[in-house]
Structures are given as C-alpha cells and as structure tokens.
Amino acid sequence: MTKPAPFDYLAAHTLDEALEALADGYGDAVVLAGGQTLVPLLALRLSLPSVLVDINPIAELQGVSRIDGATRLGAVTRQAQVLRDPLVARHVPGLAMATRFVGHHQTRNRGTLGGSLALAEPAAEYPATALALGARMQARSRAGERTIEADDYFLGPYSTALQPDEILTAVDFPDWPAGARTVVNEVARRPGDFALVGLVCALSVDAGKIARAGVSWFGMGPTPMRSRRAEAALTGQAVEGLDLAGIAELAVADTEPLDDIHASGRYRATVARRIFPRIARQALGQGPGQEAAA
C-alpha cells in the first residue's frame, strides 16, 4: 500500500488565493487540478510538496467560451466536458477527438485539460494537439498575466515554460479556416494506455491545395514533437498526387523517439512511418475525419 507523505492542503476559492499560496510556498507548493496523475505521484511519494493548492473550487477556471476568433477552455475544464462540449465540437473538433484517447471514462470525469498540459507528459494526447493547432496558454502569477505560444511552452519531459509561482488559467485554440480537419490517432497496447506512437494532423485545403498544415507527434521524443519540415512540405501542395510516403520520412526525421520498456525507438519510427500517410489522408477528408466549421 502506498500513501502520500504529509502535506498541507489548501482549497483555493479564488485565483488570487491560489496565487498567493503558490508564491508563499515557492517551488515547494504544488497545484492540484484533476489529480489523475498528481495523486498517484503523491501516493508513490514521487511528489513531496509541502503545500497542495487545490484549484478545483475556482469557478472562473472552468468551462468553454468563445473569445476573439478562438475557443477558450478554462484550465480546470474536465476532459469529460471537452468530449461533449458543443463549442469544442463545433470549433475544435480535433480536441474532442484527442480526448477519446485520454485515460478512461472514470479518469476523464475528474482529469482536466489544463492538468494534462501543465504536466506535459510527452506521450500524452493534449500537448501534441495544442502544438499542432497552435494553442496559446494563458498563465497568471501575482506579477500579472502572460500568453505562452504552444511552440515556446513545452521544454522537455514534464517540463514547461510555467514558473513555480504561475498557474495555467486557460488555453485558447485559435480558429482554423473553415473546413479544416484535424485527425488524432495513436498506436497503444490497450485503449487508455499512453501511446507508443501518436499523431495529430490538421490540414486546411483551399481550391485543391493545402493552405495550412499542423503536424505533431506524441510518444516520439522528450516533448510533443512538431514537424515543421512536414508542415512546410505539405503547405501549398496540390492534394492530388501528394507524396505522403515521402512527407512521412520528413515528419519522422523531426522526431527523437526513445527506447523504453514499451518499445524501441526504431520500432516507434517504423510505426510512425506507417501511420502518417493514413492519418494525413483522413485529414484530407479521404476517410473518416473531423470537420471544423468556421
């Protein structure tokens, strides 16, 4: 049996209260969102905070809204809500698609979007989705608010640009052009396990040509891995006669797959090469995909 080591628990009812507690316990206080990863880490004593700051009671951190051509999700929005939210379904369907792979029904009822992005597990679905879609993280500390682009946010395994006294308050997903499709898929040993290899591919087609592309891998390196070379190779190309096998090579070249107990890096790269064309084809609408309205 594993039990957490003692800590002080503080239920924050306002953001200011939470920020104050974080600043007071600088570096040693930890934010509790959905707890679906943090509580196991506490139980295994891999995380030993002096203070646990529970942000679940803060109403303003929950829910989905529209703001300036983007869909804003509060950091403590439950994954189960992401899955069924009508604004997400309409404007960011790729995020709903990613959510189907996140944990299980029972953990999605507690687990949050922001918790996953603050944890930054390299094999998780949300970080790669945020990267492919160009999400913007909203972070707050007592010093003020700042926006962090997804490109500048993921620094390493479980490491982000968030400072110890900052809280991720919301994530904005800017609109893609009308008709853009995002497809998320992965290869995992069992449903709900972390992916061995996963891909988020977002494509927008205009007059038979790819106008914009977002390509990010998960489980393929120390962070979610965006492939700028694959995006560049896709952008401007005619959909007709696209060399997806060739672009898959570029996409895999932008990864750093690691060996671990689940799979070797070579195996991951082989799987990645195989799944890229299939997922890209779906994002082109040549198969079951996801359509986004404007």
Residues in touch with another protein (CB under 8 A): 1-11, 32, 35-36, 39-40, 42-44, 52, 54, 56, 80, 103-107, 109-110, 190-192
Q: How far is the CB of 101 from another protein (least distance, A)?
A: 11
Q: How far is the CB of 200 from another protein (least distance, A)?
A: 21
Q: How far is the CB of 270 from another protein (least distance, A)?
A: 26
Q: Which is nearer to another protein, 156 or 191 (CB)?
A: 191
Q: Which is nearer to another protein, 99 or 204 (CB)?
A: 99
Q: Parallel, antiparallel, or unpaired: how do β-strands 136-141 and 144-149 relate? A: antiparallel
Q: Which is nearer to another protein, 49 or 214 (CB)?
A: 49
CB burial string 59-72: b at 16+ within 10 A, e below:
eebbbbeeeeebbb
C-alpha to C-alpha distance for 71 and 69, rounded to whole angstroms: 7
Q: How far is the CB of 4 from another protein (least distance, A)?
A: 4
**Long-range contacts of the stretch 239-244 (C-beta < 8 A, 24+):** 239/205, 239/208, 239/209, 239/210, 239/284, 240/208, 242/210, 242/280, 242/284, 244/276, 244/277, 244/280, 244/281
Q: Which is nearer to another protein, 38 or 88 (CB)?
A: 38
Q: Which is nearer to another protein, 43 or 161 (CB)?
A: 43
C-alpha to C-alpha distance for 136 and 40, rounded to whole angstroms: 28
Q: How far is the CB of 64 from another protein (least distance, A)?
A: 18
Q: Which is nearer to another protein, 35 or 74 (CB)?
A: 35
C-alpha to C-alpha distance for 165 and 191, rounded to whole angstroms: 35
**Of 230, 232, 219, 235, the residue nearest 271 (C-alpha):** 219
SS3 track for 77-89: CEHHHHHHCHHHH
Q: How far is the CB of 235 from another protein (least distance, A)?
A: 36
